[in-house]
Structure 1
Amino acid sequence: MGLVGGEENGNADSVSEIRLVSNDNKYERVDDKSHDSKKFVFVCAIFASLNSVLLGYDVGVMSGAIIFIQEDLKISEVQEEVLVGILSIVSLLGSLAGGKTSDAIGRKWTIAFAAIVFQAGAAIMSIAPSFGILIIGRLFAGVGIGFGVMIAPVYISEISPAVARGSLTSFPEIFVNLGILLGYISNYAFSGLSPHISWRLMLGVGILPSVFMGFALFVIPESPRWLVMQNRIEEARSVLSKTNGSEKEVEERLKDIQLAAGMAVAENYEGKAVWREILKPSPPVRRMLIAGCGIQCFQQITGIDATVYYSPTIFKEAGIEGNTQLLAATVAVGFTKTLFILVAIFLIDKVGRKPLLYVSTIGMTACLFGLCLTLALLGDGQLGIALAILAVCGNVAFFSVGIGPVCWVVSSEIFPLRLRAQASALGAVGSRVSSGVVAMSFLSVSRAITVAGTFFIFSVISAVSVAFVHKCVPETKGKSLEQIEMMFQNEWQGEVEMEDAERLVQR
Structure 2
Amino acid sequence: MEVAAALTPNEIELEPHHQKKPSRNKYSLACAMLASMTSILLGYDIGVMSGAAMYIKRDLRISDVEIEILAGIINLYSPIGSYIAGRTSDWIGRRYTIILAAVIFFVGAILMGFSPNYAFLMFGRFVAGIGIGFAFLIAPVYTSEISPTSSRGFLSSLPEVFLNGGILVGYISNYAFSKLPLRIGWRLMLGVGAIPSMFLAMAVLAMPESPRWLVSQGRIGEARTILNKISDSKQEAHQRLADIKHTAGIPQDCNDDVVPITKNKQGQGVWKELLLYPTPAVRHIFIASLGIHFFAQATGIDAVVLYSPRIFDNAGIKSDSKKLLATVAVGFVKTVFILVATFFLDRVGRRKLLLSSVSGLIISLLTLAVSLTVVNRSDTTLNWAVGLSIASVLCYVGSFSIGSGPITWVYSSEIFPLRLRAQGVAIGAVVNRVTSGVISMTFLSLTKAITTGGAFFLFAGIAAAAWVFHYTLLPETRGKTLEEIEGSFGNFWRKSKKSASGEGHKRNSSGNGQIQLGTKGQDQQPLTSVD
**Common fold, TM-score beyond 0.5?**
yes
Q: Which amino acid aligns with 2:181?
A: S
Match of 2:313 among 304, 312, 316: 316
The yes-or-no answer on 1:197 pairing with 2:193 is: no
In structure 1, the gaps of 5 or more residues are: 1-7, 13-33, 499-507
Matches within 5 A, 1:84-233: 84-233=71-220
Match of 2:30 among 32, 36, 43: 43
Residue 214 of structure 1, CA deviation? 2.8
For 2:329 and 2:492, locate their aligned partners in 1 and report how far apart those are by CA, in whole Å. 44
When structure 1 is superposed on structure 2, of 245-254 and 105-114 the one drifting more is 245-254
Residue 267 of structure 1, CA deviation? 10
The yes-or-no answer on 1:333 pairing with 2:330 is: yes
* Preserved contact between residue 49 and residue 71 of structure 2 (Cα < 8 Å): yes
Match of 1:288 among 276, 285, 293: 285
For 1:321 and 1:332, locate their aligned partners in 2 and report how far apart those are by CA, in whole Å. 16
Residue 50 of structure 1, CA deviation? 1.1
Aligned position for 1:65: 52
| Structure 1 residues 493 and 99: CA distance shift in structure 2, 3 A | farther
Residue 485 of structure 1, CA deviation? 1.7
| Structure 1 residues 237 and 449: CA distance shift in structure 2, 3 A | same
Residue 268 of structure 1, CA deviation? 2.7
| Structure 1 residues 269 and 279: CA distance shift in structure 2, 3 A | farther
Residue 355 of structure 1, CA deviation? 0.8
The yes-or-no answer on 1:304 pairing with 2:301 is: yes
Residue 381 of structure 1, CA deviation? 2.3
Greater share of residues in helix = 1
Tell me the secondary structure at the aligned position of residue 481 of structure 1: coil
Residue 370 of structure 1, CA deviation? 0.6
Aligned position for 1:439: 440
* Preserved contact between residue 302 and residue 439 of structure 2 (Cα < 8 Å): yes
Residue 382 of structure 1, CA deviation? 1.7
In structure 2, the gaps of 5 or more residues are: 1-5, 11-21, 252-260, 497-520, 523-531
Aligned position for 1:79: 66
* Preserved contact between residue 284 and residue 492 of structure 1 (Cα < 8 Å): no
When structure 1 is superposed on structure 2, of 213-222 and 98-107 the one drifting more is 213-222
For 2:386 and 2:494, locate their aligned partners in 1 and report how far apart those are by CA, in whole Å. 54
For 1:176 and 1:364, locate their aligned partners in 2 and report how far apart those are by CA, in whole Å. 19
* Preserved contact between residue 81 and residue 129 of structure 2 (Cα < 8 Å): yes
Aligned position for 1:273: 269
For 1:111 and 1:477, locate their aligned partners in 2 and report how far apart those are by CA, in whole Å. 27
| Structure 1 residues 492 and 226: CA distance shift in structure 2, 3 A | farther
Tell me the secondary structure at the aligned position of residue 268 of structure 1: helix
* Preserved contact between residue 283 and residue 492 of structure 1 (Cα < 8 Å): no
Q: Which amino acid aligns with 1:389?
A: I
For 2:7 and 2:473, locate their aligned partners in 1 and report how far apart those are by CA, in whole Å. 36
Aligned position for 2:231: 244
| Structure 1 residues 263 and 371: CA distance shift in structure 2, 3 A | farther
For 2:208 and 2:349, locate their aligned partners in 1 and report how far apart those are by CA, in whole Å. 28
* Preserved contact between residue 473 and residue 492 of structure 2 (Cα < 8 Å): no
Summarize deviations over 1:243-298 as a string: whole Å, max 9, x none.
Answer: 01332222111111101011797993554511111211222111001111110111
Aligned position for 1:465: 466
When structure 1 is superposed on structure 2, of 146-155 and 240-249 the one drifting more is 240-249
For 2:150 and 2:177, locate their aligned partners in 1 and report how far apart those are by CA, in whole Å. 43
When structure 1 is superposed on structure 2, of 207-216 and 328-337 the one drifting more is 207-216
Tell me the secondary structure at the aligned position of residue 343 of structure 2: helix
For 1:490 and 1:226, locate their aligned partners in 2 and report how far apart those are by CA, in whole Å. 29
* Preserved contact between residue 41 and residue 193 of structure 2 (Cα < 8 Å): yes
Match of 2:349 among 325, 329, 352: 352
For 2:262 and 2:192, locate their aligned partners in 1 and report how far apart those are by CA, in whole Å. 48
Residue 216 of structure 1, CA deviation? 2.0
| Structure 1 residues 486 and 270: CA distance shift in structure 2, 3 A | same
* Preserved contact between residue 364 and residue 462 of structure 1 (Cα < 8 Å): yes
For 2:211 and 2:62, locate their aligned partners in 1 and report how far apart those are by CA, in whole Å. 48
Aligned position for 2:457: 456
Q: Which amino acid aligns with 2:138?
A: I
Aligned position for 1:20: none
Alpha-carbon RMSD: 2.1
Aligned position for 1:31: none
* Preserved contact between residue 336 and residue 393 of structure 1 (Cα < 8 Å): yes
| Structure 1 residues 385 and 242: CA distance shift in structure 2, 3 A | same
Tell me the secondary structure at the aligned position of residue 483 of structure 2: helix
Tell me the secondary structure at the aligned position of residue 321 of structure 1: coil
For 2:195 and 2:495, locate their aligned partners in 1 and report how far apart those are by CA, in whole Å. 51
| Structure 1 residues 493 and 320: CA distance shift in structure 2, 3 A | closer
For 2:454 and 2:8, locate their aligned partners in 1 and report how far apart those are by CA, in whole Å. 57
The yes-or-no answer on 1:482 pairing with 2:477 is: no
For 1:52 and 1:452, locate their aligned partners in 2 and report how far apart those are by CA, in whole Å. 31
The yes-or-no answer on 1:342 pairing with 2:339 is: yes
* Preserved contact between residue 267 and residue 419 of structure 2 (Cα < 8 Å): no
* Preserved contact between residue 60 and residue 117 of structure 2 (Cα < 8 Å): yes
Summarize deviations over 1:364-395 as a string: whole Å, max 9, x none.
Answer: 01101111000101344221221111000000
Aligned position for 2:517: none
For 1:122 and 1:261, locate their aligned partners in 2 and report how far apart those are by CA, in whole Å. 39
Q: How many residues align?
A: 468
Aligned position for 2:403: 402
The yes-or-no answer on 1:55 pairing with 2:42 is: yes
| Structure 1 residues 193 and 267: CA distance shift in structure 2, 3 A | closer
Summarize deviations over 1:373-425 as a string: whole Å, max 9, x none.
Answer: 00101344221221111000000000000010000000000000100000000
